[in-house]
Amino acid sequence: MNRLNFLVVLFFLATIAVFSQNKKHIPYTVLKGETVESICRKLTITPYTLLQLNPDIKEGLTEGQLIIVPNKEYKPELDTQVEGDYVKDGFLYHKVLPKENYYRLRKQFGVAKRILRKHNLALRTGNLKAGQIIKIPIKAGAKMAAIATPETKDTKPYLVRPKETKYSIATRYGITVEKLESLNPDLKGTVLKMATIINVPNTEAIPDANDDFMTHQVEKGETLFGLSQQFKISQEELITLNPDLEDGVKEGMLIRIPKTTLGANTSIFVPNIPENTHLKIAMMLPFMSNKSISFDSNAEDKKKRKAAKRLNRVTDFYLGAMIALDSIKKQGVSVSVNVFDTENSIATISSILKNNRFDDVDAIVGPMFLNNVKFVSQGLRIDSLAIISPASSKDHSVFASKSMVKEVPSDELLANKVLDYIKRNYTGQHLIVIADDEKENAPRVNRIVATLNTLDSVQKVAVLKPEKGYIKLDLFKEAIQEKKENWFILITKDDV
């Protein structure tokens, strides 16, 4: 080996040594015949430490099993001393003084009683005692001048098991994939590998398979009160099941909900996505790249204004679809998308079908407009291929196959659903129909009003229609009955 190669190898080994020293925990492969006790003797650690790092080994070890152990080469930074107490891993370890109570602790350290109980199991069942060592989380604004840059770590090591993904691990600990990546910056843009040790929240994991609970992802605007009302569970129970809720409800959080609290008619979607799922999507939309379109609202040419309005709808749909696909990716699904401009032309669509393979595509989103959808459906005839027809509420039954997915229900279906709901729930309310003055809509209005008038105890359905483009306020006042609950039924094709 020449001198240059020798130096490169030395540098490589030195880099590995430095890197390993910076890892607080490392993976360890269990050898034949090894037990918890023998491993602890070998590594000079206590069984408590080993079990704390690997709660799943209580039932025993097997040869070849990967576990987490402390790294002997790890060289932690010296703890910061604060007035006799000490700081470690983002906590102040404080010895309770005689006559010290929660009020004094809050005044001195700026921490509430509930936060102390959250981080100190002994305080949940007992009171403060002199000489007791308690953990106080360090946070911005804490009244400890001696700490210039407090740590904010509240994590524990986790050993990645076979077939686990970022999404599955994030779900187990009630966080988003983004939060998991923020705890582990090296994971961003990479595939999670087995036997990697990563940081996860220092909380109890949500069991992988538990029929008694479901996982709910908090949406924007949801509150603790709203969640308790939605799932018929007290706020205290929610916090007990999800301790992180004590710090507030945050968008994207994954929380546990007992299934026993859900009513019989409650329908909640629980994602059950198999590992290593890959979706191949083709999107066919009329972007009209072959034409010049003016977005001037004052343009005199009605065709140009109509084309601009249509393109706005297409781009809005496209952006919404991309957001939905991005959401699917965050749940661990690999998605590939091919986008085609149909130019709203049968000839262009025919060329797309002829020059591209679709036998390995899972779904086609589009094309828009009924005739185009019909052409694609009849031109491909692949049973395993889902064709999603967007934006059209017209009848697809003439050509639709089993794999046809219609995004917008027909007006007739919506009307029948509303009528069914009223029939099931009507108990004497006053019914008021608001209809437009379009002649083509008149038969539908008359049919629905006639159906409503057949309900028991209905005197007569009030019908309001616009005159010269609007309905007068006095007509509303006359139609409304003050001593009854009023139900309004809107029957119109006018978006306004």
Residues 369-411 have pLDDT tens digits of 888 888 888 888 777 788 888 877 676 666 666 677 777 777 7
Helix (H, G, I), strand (E, B) or coil at 230: helix
Is the distance from CB of 252 to CB of 218 less than 8 angstroms?
A: yes
pLDDT score of 266: 47
**Superfamily name with CATH number, domain 278-406:** Response regulator (3.40.50.2300)
Helix (H, G, I), strand (E, B) or coil at 24: coil
Place of tokens 């790294």: 71
Residues in the chain: 496
Beta bridge partners of 80: none
Question: Rounded to whole angstroms, how far apart are CA atoms 179 and 216?
Answer: 16
At position 199, the amino acid (one-letter code) is N
- Domain spans, the chain: 23-76, 81-137, 157-261, 278-406, 411-491
Question: Rounded to whole angstroms, how far apart are CA atoms 163 and 193?
Answer: 9
Question: Rounded to whole angstroms, how far apart are CA atoms 370 and 374?
Answer: 6
At position 201, the amino acid (one-letter code) is P
Question: Rounded to whole angstroms, how far apart are CA atoms 422 and 212?
Answer: 34
Is the distance from CB of 20 to CB of 71 less than 8 angstroms?
A: yes
Question: Rounded to whole angstroms, how far apart are CA atoms 280 and 336?
Answer: 5
Q: Which residues contact 465 (CB under 8 A, 6 or more apart)?
A: 434, 435, 436, 437, 471
Other C-beta atoms within 10 Å of 275: how many?
12
Is the distance from CB of 286 to CB of 346 less than 8 angstroms?
A: no
Q: Determine if residue 466 is left, alpha or beta; phi over 0 gives left, psi from -120 to 50 gives alpha, anything else beta.
A: beta
The b/e string for 165-199 (b: 16+ C-beta within 10 A; e otherwise) is bbbbbbbbbbbbbebbbebbeebeeeebeeeebbb
Place of tokens 């407090």: 150
Other C-beta atoms within 10 Å of 469: how many?
7
Element holding 82 (H helix, E strand): strand 81-82
Pairing outcome for strands 334-341 and 278-285: parallel
149: exposed, middle or buried (Cβ count in 10 Å: 0-12, 13-18, 19+): exposed
Pairing outcome for strands 25-29 and 66-70: antiparallel
Is the distance from CB of 396 to CB of 404 less than 8 angstroms?
A: yes
- Is the pTM for the entire model greater than 0.75? no
What's the gap between Cα 32 and its chain centre?
43
Between the two ends of the chain, the Cα-to-Cα distance in Å is 81
- DSSP states along 301-353: -HHHHHHHHHHHHHHHHHHHHHHHHHHHHTTT-EEEEEEEE-TT-HHHHHHHH
Residue 133, phi then psi, degrees to nearest 5:
-95, 120
* CATH architecture group of domain 23-76: Roll (3.10)
Pairing outcome for strands 91-95 and 133-137: antiparallel
Beta bridge partners of 311: none
Is the fold of 81-137 the same as that of 157-261? yes
pLDDT score of 10: 37
Closest-CA residue to 428 (of 458, 473, 399): 458
Q: Does domain 81-137 have CATH number 3.40.309.10?
A: no
Pairing outcome for strands 213-217 and 197-201: unpaired
pLDDT score of 385: 83
Q: For every one of its 496 residues, what pLDDT tens digit does the chain have, with 9 covering 90 and above?
A: 444 443 333 333 334 344 444 567 888 888 988 888 888 888 877 777 787 788 777 777 888 888 888 877 765 543 444 445 677 767 788 888 888 888 888 888 888 888 888 888 778 777 888 888 888 887 634 444 333 333 345 788 888 877 778 877 887 787 888 888 888 888 887 778 777 888 888 877 765 545 567 777 788 778 888 888 888 888 888 888 877 788 788 877 777 788 765 554 444 455 566 667 788 899 998 888 777 666 555 555 667 677 777 788 888 888 888 888 887 777 778 888 899 998 889 999 999 989 998 888 888 887 888 888 888 888 887 777 888 888 776 766 666 666 777 777 777 788 888 888 888 888 888 888 888 888 878 888 888 888 888 876 666 788 888 887 788 888 888 888 888 888 888 888 665 5
Is the distance from CB of 154 to CB of 318 less than 8 angstroms?
A: no
Question: Rounded to whole angstroms, how far apart are CA atoms 297 and 374?
Answer: 32
Helix (H, G, I), strand (E, B) or coil at 155: strand
Query: What tokens were used for 180?
Result: 């998991």
Instruction: List own/partner pairs for 422-426 with CB under 8 A and 24 or more apart.
Output: 422/452, 422/455, 422/487, 422/489, 423/455, 426/455, 426/458
Q: Does domain 157-261 have CATH number 3.40.50.720?
A: no
Question: Rounded to whole angstroms, how far apart are CA atoms 94 and 147?
Answer: 14
Beta bridge partners of 406: 389
Place of tokens 């009507």: 426
Is the distance from CB of 491 to CB of 435 less than 8 angstroms?
A: yes
